[in-house]
Copies of this chain bind each other. A is one copy, B any other.
């Protein structure tokens, strides 16, 4: 009765109405003779969203973390050397997982606010003459700091060194939101999840796998890490018949069918452009707020799906977040790990539009002032408005049939 809760975290994102309708379903038989029509279509279309021509995309009933684990378990062996970098909570957790799964991590520590260090990677790869490094890991979008890394650049570094390592990408908060070209960039394993750019509830982990990675998996055969739930072998065998090796989350698959239709209908380039447009408005607001600044250390690192924002000196970012939530019914992202208390985040990915973000910016503005920030009320909204007025197409609404 007190209106909608406002959700501006970097996932789960807001579910479009057609997707919500599509998930309002009774249960169905996942062994029905016509179930493969659904499954095969999804597997084909996920490749389009991933920009993958060869290879496969797997759909696991799991979170993105599960897909991370699957990528490692199925293509690497304990003791394998891998090159990773750490510059935020999620790249940190990925390193942690790699170590726990027995990999020998060559780690590049990076200042939080920057991303994958191409030069460091180049050095390590150049130096690795006998190709001990089996895989290079890159977090495309570090959700904790709002930092986007240059994946095409990582590919260039690999190619320049003539290095055969596989390229692992964490695309959880980037794929289906910002530019991602799995085939063109030579990415071998790309992780994502349902609750971000795919605009669904959490519950599905996605994993794009190149032909090269599939070959690596075959070579491992029964050796390598123990795996069953997340094994490629079982999934391939059943997916090839249009089914899954265990009961899939059919409600989410029906939702995915709808969101993929929306995504592919709009076109990936259009979606990437929309995210950029929306993000720029938020960044304009941050710039207008005295004493606030992005955690990202420069335009080249700024993420189009989430902005991590330092609260002004003397303001506890936790107060901003709790006031936004309790008083203004608005969920902002928390500052994670070393950013706790220092930064808050505005998620701006998925199904959004300028007026929604003006609301989000207003909520942040009110909460900042309540928490003691000396910003000019309305300044952020005014800056965002100026951007949105100039960049929003006149027919943003689209036809009613396509409204979402």
A33: chain B residues at CB < 8 Å are 322, 325-326
Least CB distance, A100 to chain B, in whole angstroms:
5
Give complex CA distance A34, B329 in Å: 12
Least CB distance, A393 to chain B, in whole angstroms:
7
Give complex CA distance A400, B274 in Å: 33
Q: Which of B1, B24, B325, B356 contacts A24 (CB 8 A)?
A: B24
Which of A122-130, A146-154, A222-230, A302-310 forms part of the interface with chain B? A222-230
A249: chain B residues at CB < 8 Å are 63, 201-203, 249
Give residues of chain A (364-393) contacting chain B, Cβ–Cβ below 8 Å. Answer: 365-366, 369-370, 376-379, 381-383, 385-386, 388-389, 392-393
A250: chain B residues at CB < 8 Å are 12, 201-202
A12: chain B residues at CB < 8 Å are 27-30, 247, 250
B229→A69 contact, CB < 8 A: yes
Smallest CB gap from A288: residue in B: B378
Which of A13-21, A132-140, A163-171, A206-214 forms part of the interface with chain B? A13-21
- Asked if A327 lies at the interface with its beta carbon under 8 angstroms from chain B, I say yes
A366→B352 contact, CB < 8 A: no
**Contact A32 B359, CB 8 Å, known A64-B247, A377-B382:** no
A353→B329 contact, CB < 8 A: yes
A20: chain B residues at CB < 8 Å are 24, 26
Smallest CB gap from A392: residue in B: B327
- Asked if A106 lies at the interface with its beta carbon under 8 angstroms from chain B, I say no
Count residues of A near B (Cβ-Cβ below 8 Å).
123
A29: chain B residues at CB < 8 Å are 7, 9, 12, 325, 331
Give complex CA distance A397, B7 in Å: 13
- Asked if A6 lies at the interface with its beta carbon under 8 angstroms from chain B, I say yes
- Asked if A286 lies at the interface with its beta carbon under 8 angstroms from chain B, I say no
Q: Which of B63, B222, B351, B401 contacts A3 (CB 8 A)?
A: B351
Least CB distance, A249 to chain B, in whole angstroms:
4
**Contact A202 B247, CB 8 Å, known A33-B326, A327-B392, A379-B378:** yes
- Asked if A195 lies at the interface with its beta carbon under 8 angstroms from chain B, I say yes
A326: chain B residues at CB < 8 Å are 33, 394-397
Give complex CA distance A26, B19 in Å: 11
Q: Which of B266, B333, B360 contacts A1 (CB 8 A)?
A: B266
Give complex CA distance A13, B247 in Å: 12
A360: chain B residues at CB < 8 Å are 355
- Asked if A145 lies at the interface with its beta carbon under 8 angstroms from chain B, I say no
Give complex CA distance A345, B108 in Å: 56
**16 more A-B contacts (CB under 8 A) besides A21-B25, A33-B326?**
A1-B16, A3-B356, A6-B356, A7-B26, A11-B247, A20-B26, A27-B195, A32-B400, A61-B203, A97-B228, A201-B249, A202-B251, A225-B226, A358-B381, A365-B385, A381-B381
Residues of chain A whose beta carbon lies under 8 Å from any beta carbon of chain B: 1-7, 9, 11-17, 20-35, 37-38, 61-66, 68-69, 73, 78, 97, 100-102, 193, 195, 199, 201-203, 222, 225-230, 245-252, 259, 262-263, 266, 271, 274, 322-323, 325-331, 333-334, 351-356, 358-360, 362-363, 365-366, 369-370, 376-379, 381-383, 385-386, 388-389, 392-401, 403-404
Which 4 pairs show the lowest CB-CB distances between chains A and B? A378-B382, A359-B359, A358-B362, A3-B353
The 30 listed contacts between A and B (C-beta, < 8 Å) are: A1-B262, A1-B271, A2-B274, A2-B352, A2-B353, A4-B353, A11-B247, A14-B26, A20-B24, A21-B24, A23-B251, A61-B62, A61-B63, A65-B245, A100-B227, A193-B247, A201-B250, A202-B248, A202-B250, A325-B397, A326-B395, A327-B393, A328-B354, A328-B355, A329-B355, A355-B363, A362-B381, A370-B389, A376-B382, A377-B386
